[in-house]
Structure 1
Amino acid sequence: MITSLFDLTGRVALVTGGNKGLGKAMARGLAEAGADVIIASRHEDQLREAIQEITAGTGRRGAYHVADVGKREDLLRLARFALDTFGHVDILINNAGMNIPQPIDAITDDVWDRMLAVNLTSAMVLSRELVPQMKARRWGRIVHISSILGQVSKEKRNAYSATKAALMGLARASAIDLGPYNITVNCIAPGPFLTDMPMSLLSEAEKQAFAQRTALGRWAEPRELVGPVLLLCSEAGSYITGQTLFVDGGWLAR
C-alpha cells in the first residue's frame, strides 16, 4: 500500500520548538504517522499542554524536555534525555528559531551571537550528538527548518537570513557525510505561515504584502507543513537528501 511509505511506526522523533506553531504541527503529524515524539523548548507549561495535544488519540508515546537551544549544555542534556527515554532517535527536526530584526550597521553582538546559537549552532550540536546512533542502525532523517529568507531577504534580516542560508549549506554537507549510512539531511524553507514570530514582527501592511505576493494569495496554516515533513522523514523521501524544499505558496515564483 502506498500509505506504508509514510508509516513511521516504531520511529522516534525529536522536535525542537515543539511547543507551538510549526513545531507543534509537525510533531502532531509525526505522531499521527506512528512516531513517538519528544518536544523541547524553554517553556515547561506550554510543553506539558502541547505534548498532550500532540499525542491525543494517536496511541503514541510522548515526552518533553525543558531546554534553551541557545545553550550547548542544554542541548547535550536534551540529546541524552531523548536517548535515555526512548533508547534511540530516528528523526531530528531542528525547528527552534528566533528573529530580532536589526540593520547591518546596528547589529549588537549579543543579538548576533544569540541568533547564531539558536538558529544554527543548535542544529549542528543536536545532529552531532544524535548521528552516531543513527549511523549504528543505518537509518535516520534530519530536517532543518530554514526559511525563504535564507534564499532572499528583507530589510533588517541580516542575522536571520545568514543563519537560515547557513542551514541550507549545513544540510548539503551533512547529506554527503551521512548518505553512506542511509541517513538523509534536508531543509524545509517555509514562506508566510501563520505563527507567532511573523505575526509579532510584521505590520498589517507587510502581512498583506506577503499574502499578495504568494501565488495562492494567502498565508499558510501550520498544518500545511505536515505533508512536506512527512515526505522527508519517511521512506517516501528515501532518495531525497541535501535539498531545500520551499513551502511558500508560490512566493518565490514571483
Structure 2
Amino acid sequence: MKPVNQLFDLSGKVALVTGGNKGLGKAMARGLAEAGADIFISSRSEGELKTSLAEILDGTGRKGEYCVADMNDRADVARLAETALAKMGRIDILINNAGVNIPQAIDAIDDESWDRVLEVNLSSIMALSRALVPQMKSRKWGRIVHISSIMGFVSKERRNAYSATKSAVIGLAKASALDLGEFGITVNCIAPGPFLTDMPMSVLSDAEKKQFASRTALNRWGDPKELVGPVLMLTSEAGSYVTGQVLVVDGGYIAR
C-alpha cells in the first residue's frame, strides 16, 4: 500500500476513457491526467477529440492519443481496443463512459432506437472490457469503472431503454468483479445524478431541469469536475479493496 499522500497517484498508468471528448468523460480524463496517468480517449467526432485531448493534457506533462470509434458498431469497439493497445502499449484503467439516451414511452419504442441504446450503453461495455481484460490479467492489476446513472435505481417517464441499460451495467460490474478479483482487477460503477452535461441539457425541458435541481439535497446540478474525486478513488490504490460496488454521486437526489 502506498503512503497516504500517494494513494491517488496514477503515475505510470494508462487510462482509456470512452466518450472522453466532452462532459463527464472529458472531466474524468483530465482528472486522471492530473493524477499522473497517460490518456487515451474515444468518441465519434475526430474534431472534438483532437481539441479535447489537447485540453485534457495541457500542463500535465502526460502523453495521450485518441481514436474515432462508434460504440454502436461492435467491429469499431474491437478496433478501438486494438488501436489503444497498439498506441499506448497497455491499458490499466478503463472508464466505460460513452452513452446515449433516446427517450421513448414503452408503447412507442421502435426497435432501432431500443437496439442502439442497448448496444451503446451495455453491449459495447461488455465488448470493450472483454477485449482489454486479458492484458490486465497478465499484469495482475486493473481498474474498470462503468458509468451507470441514478436512472439505474429510479426513473422517469420515457426512460425505458436508458434505465434498463443503466441497471444492467450494475449487474455486469458485480459479476465481472467476481471473475476478476483474483487477478487484482477491480470493477465498479459510478452512478451520477444531475450533472451539467450535453445529454440532459438536450433532452430536458427548463421545468424538468429545475425539478432535478430541487430534488437534490444540495439544491443544484453537479459540475462535471465533481466526478473527478470519485473516479480517482476507484481507479487508484485508494480504492484497492472496493469492487463490485456502485458509488452514487448525485448530490443527494435518491436520498429523497
What one-letter code is carried by the residue in structure 2 that aligns with 1:235?
A: E
Partner of 2:194: helix, strand, or coil? coil
Describe the SS at the equivalent of 1:63: strand
Q: Does 1:144 align with 2:149?
A: no
- After TM superposition, list the pairs within 5 Å mapping 1:75-154 onto structure 2: 75-154=77-156
Separation of aligned partners in 2, 1:149 and 1:142: 20
Match of 2:212 in 1: 210
Match of 1:173 in 2: 175
Within 2, Cα distance between the matches of 1:3 and 1:227?
14
Rounded to whole Å, the distance in 2 between the matches of 1:175 and 1:3 is 27
| SS of equivalent to 1:252 | helix
1:243 aligns with 2:245: yes
Q: Deviations over 1:122-142 (max 9, x none)?
A: 110010000000000000000
Aligned to 2:58: 56
**Match of residue 17 from structure 1:** 19
Name the CA distance, whole Å, in 1 between partners of 2:203 and 2:84: 33
User: Is the partner of 1:186 in helix, strand or coil?
Assistant: strand
SS of corresponding position for 1:6: coil
| Paired residue total | 254
Which amino acid counterpart does residue 120 of structure 2 have in structure 1? V
Percentage of identical aligned residues: 70
Q: Which runs of 5+ in 2 are unaligned?
A: none
The alpha carbon displacement at 1:3 in A equals 2.5
Residues of 2 paired with 1:3 and 1:71: CA distance? 42
List, as ranges, runs of 4+ consecutive aligned residues in structure 1 with deviation greater than 3 Å: none
* Aligned residues: CA RMSD: 0.5
How far is 1:86 from its partner?
A: 1.3
What amino acid is the match of 1:147?
Answer: S
TM normalised by structure 1 equals 0.99
Distance in 2, matches of 1:64 and 1:110, equals 28
1:38-74 per-position Cα deviation (integer Å, ceiling 9, x unaligned): 0000000000000000000000001000000111111
Tell me, which stretches of 5 or more residues in structure 1 are unaligned? none
Aligned partner of 1:219 in structure 2 is 221
Distance in 1, Cα, partners of 2:205 & 2:168:
27
